[in-house]
Amino acid sequence: MDRNRISRIAHTGHPIAAPLSDQAVTDVLKQALNSTSAQARLLDLGCGGGEWLLRALEQHPGAAGVGVDVSEPAVAHARAEADRRGLAQRLRIEQEDAASFRSEGEFDVVFAVGVSHVFGGLLPTLTAARKHLAAGGRVVLGDGFWESPPSAEGLEILGTMDDLTGLVGSVTEAGWTPVYGHVSSRTELDAYEWAWTGALAAWGLQRRGTPEGQEALAVSAEHRQGWLAGYRSSFGFVTLVVC
């Protein structure tokens, strides 16, 4: 199965594709949008199923958003959800590479959560976000870090990352000021991984005996093993609102 389709299925029960609780998402959105006008313009680079924008638009009836993602199933889901939730008039979803998306620097808030691989790292992600940002705008940046030195297996799965101090230090040294931050708790990290592997496993069980069902079960089991044995004990995730 296509990786994008697997990801879509895996996010059925956790539409934000990052380890944040619903309350944490609400808190981050409040901090990101509290200094914008009622007509805030929002951009999500690598928007996935569009959930950050959808919730922001629900909380801010005058706001409008643009989401960009390469994944066909994610884009289709975001558009369908916008229709279902009565937000389609205020949300445009583009299926394209976020790294080559062009704008006139008109956005009050730019979201870049879990997408540093798209831009080649955290600082290039901020540089890309800056191009789209209006004066005085804010960036919501979410990324992983190593809470403690990873095992060889964890390092192989997730690669080299800073610790939290190094991550925040590199952001501030690049000239950004954090005005809010949320470090995901163990409960949030576990909830995300169980939701991801669990939704995929449940989907596979419903199709047990078919090649797709077997594949979904195998991918879920492999991911769960990599998480539990590889990176669960060392991985952390932080979401920053920076100016």
Ligand X SMILES: C[S@@+](CC[C@H](N)C(=O)[O-])C[C@H]1O[C@@H](n2cnc3c(N)ncnc32)[C@H](O)[C@@H]1O
Residue 97 touches ligand X, criterion: CB under 6 A:
yes
How do 235-242 and 178-183 pair as beta strands?
A: antiparallel
Secondary element (H or E) of residue 5 = helix 3-10
Q: Which two tokens stand for residue 71?
A: 């994944």
* Residue 64 vs 99, nearer CB to ligand X: 99
Contact stretch for ligand X (CB under 6 A) within 83-91, 111-119, 168-176, 227-235: 111-119
CA distance 120 to 60: 32
Q: How many residues bind ligand X (CB under 6 A)?
A: 20
Residue numbers 69-88 binding ligand X by CB under 6 A = 69-71, 74
Under a CB-based contact definition with an 8 Å cutoff, are residues 130 and 116 in contact? no
Residue 42 touches ligand X, criterion: CB under 6 A:
no
Cα-based distances in Å from 37 to 65, 111, 240: 14, 17, 20
Residue 65 touches ligand X, criterion: CB under 6 A:
no
> Of 66, 98, 141, 241, which lies in the binding site for ligand X, with binding defined by CB under 6 A?
98
* Residue 119 vs 176, nearer CB to ligand X: 119
Site track for ligand X across 115-144, x = CB under 6 A: x--x--------------------------
Q: Which two tokens stand for residue 75?
A: 């884009």
Contact stretch for ligand X (CB under 6 A) within 29-37, 113-121, 163-171, 229-237: 113-121
- Spell out the residues 6+ positions from residue 136 whose beta carbon is closer than 8 angstroms to its own: 35, 108, 243
> Of 10, 14, 24, 48, which lies in the binding site for ligand X, with binding defined by CB under 6 A?
48
Q: Which conformational region is residue 121 in: left (phi greater than 0), alpha (psi within -120 to 50 degrees), or beta? A: left
Interface ranges with ligand X (CB under 6 A): 16-18, 46-48, 51-52, 68-71, 74, 97-99, 113-115, 118
